[in-house]
Structures are given as C-alpha cells and as structure tokens.
Amino acid sequence: MNHEAQLASKIATETNIIVAKCYQCGKCSAGCPLATDMDVTSSAILRLLQYNTEATDTEVLRSNAIWLCLSCDMCYSRCPNQIDIPGVMDLLRQESVRQGCTNAAARNIVRFHRSFLDVVQQTGRSFEMGMVLDYKWRSKRWFDDLALAPRMFLKGKLRLLPEVVKKRKEILRLFKRTLFLRKNV
Amino acid sequence: MARIGVFVCHCGENIAATVDCGKVALQASKLPGVAVAIDYKYMCSDPGQTKIKEAIKEHNLTGVVVSACSPRMHEGTFRKACSEAGLNAYLCEMANIREQCSWVHEKSEQTTQKAYELVRTLVEKVKLNHPLDPIKVPVNKTAVVIGGGVAGIQASLDIANAGHHVVLVEREPSIGGHMSQLSETFPTLDCSQCILTPRMVEVAQHPNITLYSYSEVEAVDGFIGNFNVTIRRKARYVDEKTCTGCGTCTTKCPTKDIPNEFEQNLTTRRAIYVPFPQAVPNKPVIDREHCRYFNTGKCKVCQAVCPIDAIHFDQEDERIQLNAGAIVLATGFDIKRTDFFPEYGYGKYPDVIDGLQFERLASASGPTQGEIRRPSDGQIPKTIVFVACSGSRDAAKGIPYCSKICCMYTAKHTMLYKHKVHDGIPYVFYMDIRAAGKNYDEFTRRAIEEDGARYIRGRVSTIFEEKGQLIVRGADTLLGGRPVEIKADMVVLATAAIANTGAATLAQTLHVSYDAYHFFSEAHPKLKPVETNTAGIFLAGACQAPKDIPESVAAASGAAAKVIGLFSNNELTRDPLVASVKRTPAPPFSTCMGCMMCVSVCPYQAIGQEEIRDRQGKVIKVIAYINPGLCQGCGTCVSVCKSKSIDLEGYSNLQLLAEVEASLHS
Amino acid sequence: MSEINKRVGFYPGCSLNGTASEYKTSVLSLANAFGIELEEVPDWNCCGATAAHNLNKNLSLALPARVLANAAEAGMKDILVPCASCYNRLALTLHALQDESVRAEVEALIAKPLDAGIRVMNMIQFVQEYIQPHLDEKIQRPFFAKTACYYGCLLVRPHEVLHFDRTEDPQSMDEVMQTLGVGTIDWPYKTECCGAGLTMSRTDLVSKLSGNIVADAAERGAQAIVVACPMCHANLDMRGQQSSGKDTAPIPILYLSQALGMAIGLDEKQTGIGHHLTPVKPELLCAKQPEQIVQPEFKKEV
C-alpha cells in the first residue's frame, strides 16, 4: 500500500491543500446543500483520499459527487481546519476528465461546461443561444426548457447573435496555451 | 445538681415557620434540671452565641442543649462557644429540631410537641455527660514512601525538601519505575531517562532520604502519626557499601539466558546484573533463583573477579523496623501481558508486541540500540500497525475502563517510528483519540499531519501470520464499516494498564481499600484524590488509577503536601468520643474476660491487647485495649461485648438509655 | 441628470449583456443618476465562470487575467463587477497573482503585463462607496414592503480572499435596503446556494434549492427578494417558483440596483423590472411617486 504518487500528493503539490488535516468531523457534509444527492459526500471523499491507494482514488474520480459540487464554499467557510474542499473538487474534476473516468450520470454536466467554453473559445464571450444549442446537441436533450425559450425571448433575454471580442486571436491563443482543446465528451 | 441551659433557635423561618419556638422554650424551662431556657432567631450568629456564653456564666450551667439544626452543621460552633465561656465542650449537645422536625412536618401542635420532646431527650442525655479532653497523639515526622517510580521519587523529594525524613522503599533493584523504561515522553518528546535520572540521583544523595532498594514492606501496624513499619531488605549478595559499581562481575557471569525484565523480555540478562546503566543505586544484584552457585553449589566467578571483594554469598535478608508518621503509596501500575487476546496472536507471534516492548526497541539504550527491528528476524519493519484499546474499554475482557495513556503513547510511537524509519508506514486502528491534556491534541495532530501516521477508526478483528507478515483485519467505521486489511511487518498492541503485581496484598497489609481492579481507593473521587480512608496513608500516581507522568507528579506533590501538613503539628488532636474498656478495682481489674470478640469486629483494627501485671511483673490477665488514636467511635465493639465491658464516650449505654426513656415518657 | 463627476471601471460580464440585460440597464441608470460614468473594460472577455475552473486551472486564471490586464492598460483602478460570479473569479485571480511564480506563469499565458493596483467591487460595495453617501437626499419612493436580502455564495465567500462583509448572516445589503425605509427579514437561507451553474444540466436540483430559498423567504413575510447576482436572479426568478406551487402570488426577485432605482424614482424603462419572468408590482413594494402617478408598463404574461 505504498503508493506515494497518488491523488493526495498531487493535491498537495498543485493546490497546497493537505488532506491529512481532515479529522472527519463531518461538518462539511452537514452543511453541503447537495449532500443528500451525492453518492459520496465531501467528508467521505476526504477520507478516501487519505487512504492513498489506486482503488480509493478511482472511487473518488468516478463519483457523481465531484460534479454535483457547486463550489458554493459553504464547506470551506465552516471547516475547522480551513481545508479548501472546493479547491480539492476542482482538481478532482480536472483529473477525472484527464483520466477519462467521469461518472455516467455526470456526463451532461461536463458537456454543459464544455459547451460553455466552446463558445467562449470561438467568440471570447458566452452566448446563451449558441451555448444552449451546442449543449443540446452534445447531450441530445432537445426538449428541455423548450417552454421557457419563447418567454425569455419576449422578455428580451435571448440574443440571437453573439458578441465577439475584437482580439479573437488572443483568446484562441489563450485556449491553445492552456491546452484546452475542443473535445467531445 | 444539674443546671442545664436550653437554647431554642428559630433559624430565621426554617424552624419558626412550623415550630412554636417560644412554646418549646417555655416548656423546656419547666423540666427538672433546666436552669434557663430561651429562644432566639439565629443562635449560631454572634449575638446568639453571646447569649449562650452569658447564660453559662450567669446561671453557672453544667450542660447546654442547643435545639436547632443538625449537629453536622453547627456542633463545632456551639462546642467552641461553650469552651470559650469556660464550659467543657463535650457538655454541649444539639437537639436537631430542623432536619428532624420543622423541615419534615407541617405547622401544627404536634410538630411543636415533637420539637419539645426532642429537646427533652437531649436534656436527659446531657445530664449524664461528663467533661472530656481531646486526645493528643504524637506525630513521628518520618514518612515511608512505598514505590520508587516517578511518583514516589517526587513525593520523597517534596517531603525531604520540607525538612522531614523520608524512607523510600522500592522492590526492584533500582528506582525509576516504568518511566525509566520509556524512550521519549509526550508531548515534548523529551528523552525519558534524561529528565528522570537527575531526580533519581537527587533521591540517592538527599540527606533526608534513606533509600531501601530491592526491599519490600512486610507489615504495617499502628496509626496515623505512629505507624510501625517492617521492611524486608532482600539480600543482594553484594555489599552496597564496598561495591564501586565497576560492573566487571556482570560481564563474567556464565548464566546469560535469563529473560530481562527491564527490557520486557526482548533480550536476556545474567544472573548477576544491574537492571540498566543509569540504575540508582548503580550496584548489581544476584538473582538467587537463577544463580548457578545457588542452584548447583558451583561457580562463584563473580566473586572471583570482583576486585574489591564486595560479593558475599552468605548475605541474608534483613528486617528493619521503623516508626513513621505517614505512608505514601506510590506503587504504580503495570500493563497486561497475558495472551488474553487470542485473536491477536500476542504471545504466539514474536512480532506482535506490546507498548512497553516498543519503547525498549525505540530506546537508544535498549536491546536494539534504538533501531526498530522485528523480534523475529531483526529486520526493519516497513509497515507497523498499532492497535489502540487492546484490552481496555472491553467489558468482555473484564477491563471496561479506559487506560488513559495509550492514545498519547500510540501517537508518540508512530512519530518515533517515522523519525527512525523515514519510508516506514504506521497505521493506527483507534476508537477515539483521547488527548485531553495540555498540548496533547496538537501532538496527535502532528503525528497525523506532519509525520504521516495513518489513523483508521475501527477495531481490529483478527491478526494472523502469512509468509512472514502479519495480516491485520480491521474496519473503517467512518466509511460505514468498510473492511480494511493491512499486511504488516510488526504489530504493537496498546495493552491495558492494570494495577501492579502484589497491589492487593500490599493493600491488605496496610488496611487500605482497593477496587475490583486492585487500584487503591481514594477517600473521595472528586475532593480527596490523594487520601485513603485510612488516616495517615496517602496515594500518589498510577496505583490509584491509570494516569500519565504530569498527573502522577501532581498527585505525588499533593500527597506530599498532605504529609507535610500532617507533620506541621507535633501532636494530632482527635475527638475524644471513642470507646474504652472499663477498668474496675482489683481483683477483677475489669469485667472484660479477654474473649477478643471485639478485635475481630473492629473495622479499624483499633483494638489490641493489654496485659495486667502484678507488682512482680507477672501477667494476671489479658484484656482488650482500644487504641484511642485509631478508634473512630462506631460502637460496633460496644454492641458485641458479651460482658458489657466496653462503653463509648459521648454515647454511653446509660446516656442512650436516658434518651430512650425520655422520649417515651409523655 | 447629475453632472458626471466620477469615472469607474465597469466589467458587465456575459450575463449582463445577455439574459440579465435589465440588470445592466438598472446599473447604468443608477450610476447615471448619481453622476458616475461607468467605463467598460476595453475588449473584455468572458471570465470563464464555473466551467473554466471546473475543467482547467490555468484557463480559469488566464481568462480573468486578460480582463484585468486590459483594465490596467486603460488606467482603471476601481472596477464595478455587478455579477457575483465574475466578481468572485476576478477577485480570486487577483489573490492568486500575489504569488510571484503564478503571476509569471499567467503573464506568459496572456502575453500581457499585470498590474496589482486594481480593485474589483461587487454591486453592494459599489453602492456603499459611491451611492450610499448621497442616497438619503434622493429617495422619493421609500419602501414599505419587507424584503429578504439574498447574498448567495459568491459575494461573501471565501472571506480570506474577498474581505467583504461576513460569511454568516451578512448585513451589507440589508443595511442598504434599510436605508430605503423598511426592515429586512432575518432568514437562514441568506447565503445558501441557489444551484448556480447546474441550471440546465440538473434542473431538478436547482429547482429544489431555489425553491427552498423562495419558499422560506415568503414564509417569513418577505414580499420581495433582493439579489446582487444575475445567476441567482435567473434561478430564483425562473426556477424558484416552479417548485413552490403555492396559492399565493409568487414573490418578485429584484436586483439591488433596481430596488435603489425604484426608490429614487426612476421609471420602469430605466429599472428594467418589466423584463422579469416573475412579475414585479412596484405599488406593492414602495410608495407612490410624489409628483406624478406613473402607470407602470406591464408586459403581458405569455
């Protein structure tokens, strides 16, 4: 059970968060708005990370919970040891995508994020119509919120054309440099 | 003629609300023998007491009855007042018309009548009182401290520094106790022997301390201020005065395979040995049971090589009798070492060890010179599993209590291990982490956060051996009881702390009570943690209950303070309300027949024998003698005496009979 | 129109140019009424919102960093960021850039220099510093309806980075609303998350969370909820009522800038309250306009 280069170490190196500081008091799970909908709650995720084995790391990366986490920071603001749990979640999400083991139930959430960033990559700003169409195409959820669309349009909330920044090249270069490439989930 | 004063207190509204105090006083004044009877709002107050004192002088009273609250409240107050007015304190009695009357009845004629009747019984009793003087008992200002661990050492030094003589009795060849076996102490990781040995040397060199090592207390008689203690000094077969401690004998002894107690049986010692290099006294002792000469008549190599001829095989145990005013019990604790956990393989697998054994491994002067090595093959373990609560908090194993020190020393062990084996992985299976002392919680967090100790909450079900490794099966209750299996190279069990061997016997010798686990009983669990119910005998350290070093030291100083307080008097004053065997003129000298029934029923061992001799010194009769210094006035002997030879001062048969008659009289 | 006597940087963010356009309108109107010119950060880009920090750390720093670099280039010092999410991302980025090695890395990514002297302000901070000192004299329609101030997650957390108000029971927005004439309610959902970016991918969860928030405010007697974030507004306005299912009329969700605008007598076009999905009836919330009775334009429900 001697795996040194596991997730806990990566978290420590890249975010300076030490998972060993968690003494399992449960306060984070207690205050998390979506704890009851999660497969593994935040305190259990910290516990699993403390094990430092491949099996437990995979369990964490495959969980639905890391994608349900809203990064609302409620846990962070109340943790007695000031552990940046949303910071841990960000890294787990990135790692989960990198290793290609996202939870099946969370795929649409990832698709949504990708759709969002796709549009930003193209125009430099987000554009609801484009993003929604992109998302529906990725997720095949054509009929969600259909009733809402006309209302939003009439209230002036739906633009039909995107706004584009002048220096689009700068944006594209940014995306290339951060190695964020367009990819279908 | 009796001239009794009756003083009825209103106690504010406490008595006056239900009892007509004025009427009680009026009725009491009509009793034969009552010279004055008054009532007043607060008898215990200054003006109230003044009234009593003035009445004593004015009416030349021969006795006083204060009818008020319980004597437990103010008997002392009124006795003192009477004494100040010139009336013997023991001619003052209290009739309890509060707890026994006004507080338990409604306001009515009957209540007042009852109060009057209570007063009447005490009046009749007090007529039979006679003056008594407090008993003075001399105090011998020598303290005997039994046990030379850190608690005994601390108590000895404190008492000796206060200017009193201390006799420290230790049954092992050296003082130091378990603390001398530890590697480092929590929470500072101070080297244990480094902080203890200076104290040990101080004890040895202190002009006020006499150290009897390799000795045991055999018998204790007497009472507070006047104990007779018999100490047996076991023969070392080495002359302590001539021996220089050169150690040559210990290197030449041919018997080498005796399990070394100090090293927790991890290695062996010789038949002539010094327990550890910093021993105090640093003189060897011959283990008679294993010595080749004592067993076969052949050898004596040690004697031959001794440059100073300090070894004498003809030495004998010596008995010493001494007087002491106080005794401090500091006999410490031990850890459970039997294989009472068959599921853990302790005793079966050499690499399953206990906490003290791990201390010896970690200790620089230990059997492995401070390297953590497996007892089986001497290899350095890469994974160690520490099992907390091995035996404690386990009703099924007969030890329901918590041993208090294990959470801390287990955290310490993980840190010592990591400091020595940088790539080693320590696991701890725990129930709780009890780290309540100063800097203790931070210490355990350090073990986890900085030294990488992996704590898993859950008990271990079984440990078995497979291919040279130990398979440990535990569970993680924080993940819903998920099973966890670890392949360990070594397992350290934090076994329960138990009373030291011989504790029960010693307690019986001293007439001190002990509990079901043979820990000595304190007089009150909250308010008297260093006293026993036996006057003059005090407790220090883990012999009372498992505790760590700072607590043991604090308790030892507390016990020492009690002793020093005791010794600040040249005499002790005791209430004279004790029993005595009545003497009569010759020829019977006493109605006592010498049956000694009273001796066997006295709970305080206060009754002995007295010889009545004629002028030539010949013994005529042996009767019972009640030691006024020990007697607690319980009256058991009085009720048992067949010849009615024993009576109790202040509660004599006649006095009680008078009370009964007065209460029945309408 | 007051004289323009102050210039403040302005980062509207993608929402204010899109679904939250009425927020932008009300902010501009409000600033104008107090003589403040809001100057947009030149060629600003999306801050990355939730998606960037969920998927790529460097991207989540680089996108806001470009905005900050552009602002610095234009000589801006204070930047108003009405969207709480953008505010949070920009502030976190500023904080991260205090580390020299991170700063160097990010500067290389965006190929622009970064200036540490920039301050980002959320809507409430902006009001506290620029609006509130002159507010009293301009109030024409004091509020009589009790409101619930909803802060959401990102305005006050993490405290170590934002140093704004306090994380438990914050009061900054409440104090502003109280200046408008009426008490705000004390309620436990002040800083509970509305469901944020899961509004499309897990609508069920957002309905649950936002529904709980709206229901609690209504039960405690609030007649409107005041927010300072377009995401919260969208969720409470759109989804919050979906799960309430009560007989009572759903309570409107107001932007802080709109509430202030209403109080100082701006008309519906300026405050943009006609654009909400949950209808806003000013006459239920604040006193009538003193000089003229303005009939608010209502857009018919679809």
| First CA to last CA distance, chain C | 35
**pLDDT tier, C2 (very low <50, low <70, confident <90, very high otherwise):** very low
Residue in B closest to A9 by C-alpha: B452
- Judging contacts by C-beta atoms under 8 Å, the chain A residues touching residue C198 are 68, 70, 109
Q: Indicate if A16 and A92 belong to the same structural domain.
A: yes
Note the pLDDT of residue B461.
87
Note the pLDDT of residue C295.
54
Domain boundaries, chain B: 4-127, 142-234+317-332+500-567, 248-305, 334-498, 579-648
Interface present between C and B (3 or more CB pairs within 8 Å): no
pLDDT at residue B121 is higher than 50: yes
Inter-chain Cβ pairs, chain A and chain C, closer than 8 A: 164
Residue in B closest to A40 by C-alpha: B479
Note the pLDDT of residue C279.
82
Side chain identity at residue C4, one-letter code? I
Q: Indicate if A173 and A132 belong to the same structural domain.
A: yes
Note the pLDDT of residue B412.
98
CB burial readout C260-298, b (16+ within 10 A) else e: bbbbbbbebebbbbbbbbbebebeebbbebeeeeeeeee
**Who wins on pLDDT, C238 or B262?**
B262
- Judging contacts by C-beta atoms under 8 Å, the chain A residues touching residue B483 are none
- Judging contacts by C-beta atoms under 8 Å, the chain B residues touching residue A23 are 445, 448
pLDDT at residue A160 is higher than 80: no
- Average pLDDT, rounded, for chain B: 94
Q: Is B145 left (phi over 0), alpha (psi -120 to 50) or beta?
A: beta
Give Cβ neighbours of residue C145 (< 8 Å, ≥ 6 apart). Answer: C182, C223, C224, C284, C285, C286
In this structure, what are the phi and psi dihedrals at residue B283, rounded to the nearest 5 degrees? -120, 140
Note the pLDDT of residue B483.
85
Kindly determine whether residue A20 and residue B479, on different chains, have CB atoms separated by under 8 Å: no
| Domain annotation covers residue A182 | no
> E strand or H helix at B654, and its extent?
helix B653-664
Give the closest-approach CA distance of B468 to chain A in angstroms: 17
Q: Which two tokens stand for residue B13?
A: 């509204």
pLDDT digits (tens, 9 = 90+) for C111-128: 888 876 899 999 999 999
Note the pLDDT of residue C28.
96
Nearest to B478 among A2, A20, A24 (CB): A24
Chain C residues 146-185 with CB within 8 Å of chain A: 153-154, 157-159, 167-168
| Domain annotation covers residue A36 | yes
- Judging contacts by C-beta atoms under 8 Å, the chain B residues touching residue A18 are 449
Q: Indicate if A116 and A171 belong to the same structural domain.
A: yes
| Domain annotation covers residue A162 | yes
Kindly determine whether residue C56 and residue A157, on different chains, have CB atoms separated by under 8 Å: no
Average pLDDT, stretch B64-83? 94
Average pLDDT, stretch C267-282? 86
| First CA to last CA distance, chain B | 23
**pLDDT tier, A135 (very low <50, low <70, confident <90, very high otherwise):** confident
Q: What is the CATH number of domain B142-234+317-332+500-567?
A: 3.50.50.60
Which segments of A4-155 does DSSP mark as H helices, in order?
Answer: 7-15, 27-31, 42-51, 54-61, 65-68, 74-78, 85-98, 107-123, 128-139, 148-154
Residue in A closest to C44 by C-alpha: A165
**pLDDT tier, A184 (very low <50, low <70, confident <90, very high otherwise):** very low
Q: Indicate if A40 and A95 belong to the same structural domain.
A: yes
Note the pLDDT of residue A5.
57
Kindly determine whether residue A47 and residue B448, on different chains, have CB atoms separated by under 8 Å: no
Residue in B closest to A17 by C-alpha: B449
pLDDT at residue C64 is higher than 50: yes
Q: Are strands B646-648 and B579-581 parallel, antiparallel or unpaired?
A: antiparallel
Nearest to A124 among C45, C49, C203 (CB): C45
Q: Which CATH architecture has domain B334-498?
A: 3-Layer(bba) Sandwich (3.50)
pLDDT at residue A1 is higher than 60: no
**pLDDT tier, A148 (very low <50, low <70, confident <90, very high otherwise):** low
Q: Indicate if A92 and A167 belong to the same structural domain.
A: no
pLDDT at residue B145 is higher than 80: yes
Q: Output the DSSP codes for B302-358.
A: HHHH-TT--B-TT---EEEEEEESEEEE---EEE--S---GGGTBTTBTTEEEHHHH
Domain hosting residue A14, numbered range: 7-102
Kindly determine whether residue C14 and residue A108, on different chains, have CB atoms separated by under 8 Å: no
pLDDT at residue B641 is higher than 80: yes
**pLDDT tier, B339 (very low <50, low <70, confident <90, very high otherwise):** low
Note the pLDDT of residue C242.
53
| Domain annotation covers residue A173 | yes
Q: Indicate if A98 and A156 belong to the same structural domain.
A: no
pLDDT at residue B359 is higher than 80: yes
Nearest to C275 among A74, A150, A155 (CB): A155
Assess C102–A contact: CB distance below 8 Å, yes or no.
no
Cα–Cα dist B466/B623, whole Å: 73
CB burial readout B586-606, b (16+ within 10 A) else e: eeeebbbbeeebbbeebebeb
Q: Indicate if A17 and A97 belong to the same structural domain.
A: yes
Give chain C's domains with CATH numbers: 6-123 (1.20.1050.140), 138-292 (3.40.50.11810)
- Judging contacts by C-beta atoms under 8 Å, the chain C residues touching residue A88 are none
Domain boundary among A76, A102, A128: A102
Q: Indicate if A76 and A136 belong to the same structural domain.
A: no
pLDDT at residue C301 is higher than 50: no
Domain boundary among A80, A102, A124: A102
Kindly determine whether residue A112 and residue C201, on different chains, have CB atoms separated by under 8 Å: yes
Percent with pLDDT over 70 in chain B: 100
Q: Which pTM value belongs to this model?
A: 0.79
Cα–Cα dist C67/C49, whole Å: 13
Give the closest-approach CA distance of B436 to chain A in angstroms: 16
Average pLDDT, stretch B134-140? 90
pLDDT at residue A181 is higher than 60: no
Nearest to A21 among B449, B454, B478 (CB): B449
**pLDDT tier, C289 (very low <50, low <70, confident <90, very high otherwise):** confident
Three-class DSSP category at B420: helix
pLDDT digits (tens, 9 = 90+) for B467-491: 889 999 998 989 988 889 999 999 9
pLDDT at residue B185 is higher than 90: yes
pLDDT at residue A175 is higher than 70: yes
Q: Which CATH architecture has domain B579-648?
A: 2-Layer Sandwich (3.30)
Kindly determine whether residue A171 and residue C109, on different chains, have CB atoms separated by under 8 Å: no
Angle between helices A7-15 and A85-98 (to 10 degrees): 120
Nearest to A44 among B452, B479, B487 (CB): B479
- Judging contacts by C-beta atoms under 8 Å, the chain B residues touching residue A4 are none
Give the closest-approach CA distance of A42 to chain C in angstroms: 16
Residue in A closest to B484 by C-alpha: A51
Assess A148–B contact: CB distance below 8 Å, yes or no.
no
Q: Indicate if A89 and A110 belong to the same structural domain.
A: no
Note the pLDDT of residue B166.
98
pLDDT at residue C247 is higher than 70: no
- Judging contacts by C-beta atoms under 8 Å, the chain B residues touching residue A50 are 454
Assess A27–B contact: CB distance below 8 Å, yes or no.
no
pLDDT at residue A146 is higher than 90: no
Kindly determine whether residue C45 and residue A117, on different chains, have CB atoms separated by under 8 Å: no
Q: Which of B454, B457, B489 to mutate to test the interface with A (most CBs of A within 10 A)?
A: B454
Yes or no: domain B4-127 corresponds to CATH 3.40.50: yes
Count the domains in chain A. Answer: 2
**pLDDT tier, C200 (very low <50, low <70, confident <90, very high otherwise):** confident
Residue in A closest to B452 by C-alpha: A20
- Judging contacts by C-beta atoms under 8 Å, the chain A residues touching residue B486 are 1
ipTM of the predicted structure?
Answer: 0.89
Q: Output the DSSP codes for B424-491.
A: -EEEEEES-----STTHHHHHHHHHHTS--EEEES-EEEEEEETTEEEEEEEEGGGTSEEEEEEESEE
pLDDT at residue A3 is higher than 80: no
What is the number of residues in chain C?
302
Kindly determine whether residue B449 and residue A20, on different chains, have CB atoms separated by under 8 Å: yes
User: Is the distance from CB of B328 to CB of B538 less than 8 angstroms?
Assistant: yes
Kindly determine whether residue B479 and residue A2, on different chains, have CB atoms separated by under 8 Å: no
Note the pLDDT of residue A2.
41
- Judging contacts by C-beta atoms under 8 Å, the chain B residues touching residue A20 are 448-449, 452
Q: Indicate if A19 and A88 belong to the same structural domain.
A: yes
As to burial, measured by CB atoms within 10 angstroms (0-12 exposed, 13-18 middle, 19+ buried), residue C90 is buried
Give the closest-approach CA distance of B216 to chain A in angstroms: 48
Cα–Cα dist B514/B532, whole Å: 10
Residue in A closest to B441 by C-alpha: A23
- Judging contacts by C-beta atoms under 8 Å, the chain A residues touching residue C70 are none
pLDDT digits (tens, 9 = 90+) for A6-44: 899 999 999 999 999 998 988 889 888 999 999 999 999
Kindly determine whether residue B457 and residue A18, on different chains, have CB atoms separated by under 8 Å: no
Asked whether this chain's domains B334-498 and B579-648 adopt the same fold, the reply is no
Note the pLDDT of residue A86.
96
Percent with pLDDT over 70 in chain C: 90
Kindly determine whether residue C63 and residue A167, on different chains, have CB atoms separated by under 8 Å: no
pLDDT at residue B285 is higher than 80: yes
pLDDT at residue C298 is higher than 80: no
pLDDT digits (tens, 9 = 90+) for B34-69: 999 999 999 999 999 999 999 999 999 999 999 999
CB burial readout A117-149, b (16+ within 10 A) else e: bbbbbbbbbbbbbbbbebbbebbeeeeeeeebe
Q: Indicate if A41 and A93 belong to the same structural domain.
A: yes
Q: Indicate if A91 and A132 belong to the same structural domain.
A: no
Kindly determine whether residue A177 and residue C109, on different chains, have CB atoms separated by under 8 Å: yes
Neighbors of chain C by Cβ distance (3+ pairs < 8 Å): A
| Domain annotation covers residue A20 | yes
